[in-house]
Amino acid sequence: MSDSWLQQLYEKRVRQDRSLSILITDDANERGAGKSTLALKLAERFDRTDEGLVPEKATLSADRFRAAYSELPKGSSIILDEAEAELSKYRASSNTNKAIRDVISQGRILEKYIVFTAPASGVIDTDLKSLFDVWVLVKRRGKALVHECDYNPYGQHPLFRKKESIGWSDLESERLKEVYDGLSEVKERRLDGDEEAYEEAEHRSDLREQVETDVRNGLIRDIYGYDKMSQKEIAEAVGLSRSRVADIVAE
């Protein structure tokens, strides 16, 4: 994919310090078409942070996706996978469409790479599809068509220009398998009707992550303020990028 239109678009966005948004759907609106696998492979390829694509960068929750987009460092890839798939159609559409609007409205400045997989084409409002940069239509497992998204101001309707075909294989990276397994576990809980327990666990996880982040950031600021360590040395010690440490110190 090194010389593909999609790769060239990504590299252009990196040079321009701009975000990139990708929507993945499939022909038959069915599970098992490989949308999640493709999303993980694209997200891993595009992520430019030191930690790479970790489980915290992939979620089924529109609310968590919105928060992650604002909080994660520049250069991060973020996946919203089959968002709210087991909720009612009204709730799913409301949550996911609002998340998309919120995120894409910030897309010019936050330099993130988002990959969104839809459980069904009807979940995404028609006008929103044109706000994405790229639409990938999965034809069958391992085969998809890539489209450039645009909008016709005269006819007032979305435009989708077919650019290329792409293929992909099953996951081989252990890191990606870990992220995939985490998403699959959540989907199974929802299918089993344990959504309330899942949401409670998600809330506890959010609180725990927030506390851990706050404590870590506080320690970084203290070390930088009272020690003689440079931002580069702190970044190497805690496993973050130097730019992320600079952002934390400036808060």
The pLDDT score that the predictor gives to residue 82 is 75
The pLDDT score that the predictor gives to residue 191 is 60
**What is the rounded end-to-end Cα distance, in angstroms, of the chain?**
39
Q: How confident is the model at residue 137 (pLDDT cuts 50, 70, 90)?
A: very high
Domain ranges of the chain: 5-173, 194-251
Q: What is the pLDDT of residues 183-222, one digit of tens each?
A: 887 777 666 655 555 555 555 555 666 667 777 788 888 8
Q: Which two tokens stand for residue 35?
A: 């949308």
Residue 10 has pLDDT above 90, yes or no: yes
Query: In whole angstroms, what separates CA 38 from the centre of its chain?
Result: 12
Largest CA distance in the chain: 61
Task: Tell me which of 3.40.50.300, 3.40.50.970, 3.40.50.1970, 3.30.9.10 is the CATH number of domain 5-173.
Answer: 3.40.50.300
3-state secondary structure the chain: CCCCHHHHHHHHHHHCCCCEEEEEEECCCCCCCCHHHHHHHHHHHHCCCCCCCCHHHEECCHHHHHHHHHHCCCCCEEEEECCCCCCCHHHHHHHHHHHHHHHHHHHHHHCCEEEEECCCHHHCCHHHHCCCCEEEEEEECCEEEEEEEEEECCCCEEEEEEEEEEECCCCCCHHHHHHHHHHHHHHHHHHCCCHHHHHHHHHHHHHHHHHHHHHHHHHHHHHHHHCCCCHHHHHHHHCCCHHHHHHHHHC
Residue 178 has pLDDT above 80, yes or no: yes
Which is more confident, 203 or 37? 37
Amino acid, res. 98: K
Considering only 3-7, 90-94, 244-248, which range has the smallest mean pLDDT? Answer: 90-94
